[in-house]
Amino acid sequence: MQLKSSPLLVLAASTSIFSVIHAHYTLTDSYTAANWFQSFLFYDKEDPTHGFVQYKNLADAAKNGLISIDSSTSEPAVYMGVDHTSKNPAGRDSVRISSKKSFNHGLFIFDIEHTPSGICGTWPAAWLLSDSGAWPKGGEIDIFEGANDQAYNKMTLHTSADCAIQHTGFSGDLETANCDVNAAGQGKNMGCGIRHPMAQGLSFGQGMNKIGGGIYATVWTSTDIQIFHFPRADVPADISTPNPDPSKWGMPVAKFGGAACNIDAHFQNLNIIFNTAFCGDWAGEAWSDSPTCKAKAPTCEQYVRDNPGVFVEAYWLIRSVKVYEDRDSVVDRRKSKRSWAGFKKAVKGFFGHDDDDPDAVANAGRPVHAW
């Protein structure tokens, strides 16, 4: 007697098609001094984090010397600074930019030579934010962030409910595990945060600037979000090649993942953002937590207002931001569609009906499934 192939065996034979194949990243977007200011939008509205800051549009930022191209370095770099000459009772002039393009998954490599971090009153960040609706819908990934005289980088995810991470697979120090901005037992809007473990202070602030900066690389997949950091002298050779390979970089400093967070459900359509804020919901609220900063002035706002000269070093110098797509996952998705078509055909042959027909499936004596 000739037996028909079971659809379960067909599915079992096809499961490898659904697994993630070794990533093969290919460059899709490159932001350098040549195209930087044409690729980003300048935000010039009120700071949503209640900072003591006045964000300027492209024309005003250029006119006031807040942005420029620095050709004095080994390769042209993008300069984005703040006003360091004026006393403004309404807040210090600065810039906040957002990429015109939004992304879903990828490898993001930030090559940063200098950051505006480690200075009392400052709150700089390089991050990814969704354009899908009211925050935190669509998610937020803070790749580089800190406040005041902080000496280490803090990496954070902000989401809606039902996203928590596992404490495994990274070298950083877990501070909070629930990414929900309204999670019980955590401060409001904290999200899930991992602190950089580098004791030498090379991940943030003056320590990072003194060594010529470095690389922050973020890998965003359906499974997890990983962040790597490399000081300038320790950058892997393949990062400068057309096909960087994160699987060779060792353990990330941060890894956000696990069964308790559906990454694709919480993160969609993210834009790249750089900004330098002052005071506000973090640097302002945490002012008294720093003995050094607190000794300079009673409040963050007073110090930022009255001491423009201390912010000469509060600038970004960015060599490039490059975004890569995992071409293997694109092929993988195409294969999975073909495999699914073959599976449905096998189901039809085995049961004598098309599995798209729920009545036929029910009559065959097994549950109806929404394929």
Residue positions annotated with a catalytic role: 140, 145
User: Bridge-partner residues for 321, per DSSP?
Assistant: 31, 110
d(CA 146, CA 148): 7
d(CA 173, CA 199): 12
Phi, psi of 60 (to 5 degrees): -70, -35
Q: Write the DSSP string, 222-265.
A: SSEEEEEEEEGGG--GGGGSSS--GGGS-S-SEEEESTTB-HHH
Q: Cis (ω within 30 of 0) for the bond into 197?
A: no
Q: Are 105 and 329 within 8 A, CB to CB?
A: yes
Tokens of 118: 């480690």
Instruction: For tokens 């980088």, name the residue.
Output: 153
> Residues with Cβ < 8 Å from 169, sequence gap 6 or more?
224, 251, 252, 255, 257
